[in-house]
Structure 1
Amino acid sequence: MSTNAQWALQKALLGVLNADPATMAIFGNPLRVYDDVPEQPVFPYATFDRASVRPINADWPGALEHQMTLKVWSQYGGRREALDGLHALRGAINAASMPLDGHQLVNVRTTFADVFRIRSSRVFEAILNLRAVTEVLI
């Protein structure tokens, strides 16, 4: 059950990002948001990273809390492009209503963001953490 909810949420997020003009302006069309990064990706791009899920409580059967991390990767000369990518992702996710296969999205929000340079590199990494609550459709 939880794996299906996680996959449904990731697919819904990708659908929202694919439909958002600001996200496409940063990450291109076709969108460079990956679950599995190609061998030589074009920068900037974003990735689905960490994902965890847990039941909320016994009084709300079928309800799950998801913690997800999206990352932005940039080789632009500074933080600007990574920050623009974070802003686009956050805006698309916070503004969207997302239908999920077999589940209902109760809420989704961003909980944390950070940008930093990868040591000894020109690459900047940005992290966007999300919290979502889903429940099984009956």
Structure 2
Amino acid sequence: MSAALALRQAIHDRLAADAPLAALAGAVRIHDVPPADVAFPFVILGEAVVADWSTATEGGTEQSLTLHAFSRAGGRREAFALAAAIQEALHDAPLALAGHRLANLRATTAEVRREGDGRTYHALVRFRAVTEPL
């Protein structure tokens, strides 16, 4: 399995089992692509930019990841809380990756914006990860 897919699976598993996130969301709904009739709030495993970070003697990748959380709770409060819970669950988390070792996973930025429909709030939470093959 590629480092990117292994990291996405580990992130999914960690968020799905995170009690503080579940307390906010009622049930943790994590999607690659949300279904048409998705219930709010929910999280999407979003974009990933994967770059070779190999040295002359060792392989590795650097990944820039964006997770998205969507809320319709009537304001930004829930979206900010979701972003904070995602950061707390993943920042420096010791995730086990299939076929790879996670050297570093750091939250870098979080942003909340209102979507064009005027009632959906969208949190973007960005991470940087470094992985090495086993």
Alignment of 1:100-119 (within 5 A): 100-119=97-116
Measured after TM superposition, the shift of residue 61 of structure 1 is 2.9
Q: CA RMSD of the aligned region, Å? A: 1.4
Call closer, same or farther: CA 1:20–1:60 in 2, change over 3 Å: farther
Structure 1 contact 27–46 (Cα < 8 Å) conserved: no
Between the aligned partners of 2:78 and 2:57, the Cα distance in structure 1 is 41
TM-score when scaled to structure 2?
0.93
Call closer, same or farther: CA 1:122–1:113 in 2, change over 3 Å: same
Partner residue, 1:18: 16
**Deviating more after overlay: 90-99 vs 101-110:** 90-99
Measured after TM superposition, the shift of residue 56 of structure 1 is 1.3
3-state secondary structure, aligned to 1:122: coil
Q: Structure 1: which 5+ runs fail to align?
A: none
Call closer, same or farther: CA 1:22–1:95 in 2, change over 3 Å: farther
| Overall identity of the aligned pairs, in % | 36
**2:48 corresponds to 1:46:** no
Measured after TM superposition, the shift of residue 36 of structure 1 is 1.8
Alignment of 1:51-66 (within 5 A): 51-59=48-56, 61-66=58-63
TM-score when scaled to structure 1?
0.91
Alignment of 1:28-43 (within 5 A): 28-29=26-27, 31-43=28-40
3-state secondary structure, aligned to 1:6: helix
**2:72 corresponds to 1:75:** yes
